[in-house]
Amino acid sequence: MAVRLYMDVHVPEAITVQLRRRQIDVLTAIEDGSAELADDELLERANFLGRVIFTQDIRFKAMAENWQRLGKPFAGLIFGHQLGGTIGQFVKDLELIASASNHDEWFNTVDYIPY
C-alpha cells in the first residue's frame, strides 16, 4: 500500500498542494483539527491514522528519534530541514517515498530529505 502522508503544522502549503497535484494522499494537521497538539500527541495522532509525518521541526525529529530508542511505536517520520532543500526537492522526494514505498517500511523510522 502506498504511503499516506501527514503534514506537520509548519510545512509550507505549497508542498501539500504540489503533492496533491501528483495524486499523493496528504492530510495536514490543520485540516485534521490537530494544529494545537504537542509534538508527541501529533506523532501519536499520525500513528493512529496510519500516516507517516513530514516535519521541518528539528525538536520534533529529536523526539521521534528518542521514541525509536525507547521502542515506542509510531508510523514513521520524515524530516526536511527548512534550509536543507527547496520546495521542489521536498515535493520530489516525498512523492518518491509515497509512491515507491509502503507503510510497513516506515514503522518506527526517521529519515531525512532531500536525498
pLDDT in tens, 26-67: 999 999 999 999 999 999 999 999 999 999 999 999 999 999
CB 54 within 8 A of CB 43: no
- Number of structural domains, the chain? 1
105: amino acid identity, one letter: E
- What is the reported pTM? 0.94
pLDDT in tens, 72-100: 999 999 999 988 889 999 999 999 999 99
Give the span between the Cα atoms of 59 and 64, in whole angstroms.
9
User: What is the reported pLDDT for 84?
Assistant: 86
User: What is the reported pLDDT for 106?
Assistant: 96
Residue range of the domain that includes 35: 5-112
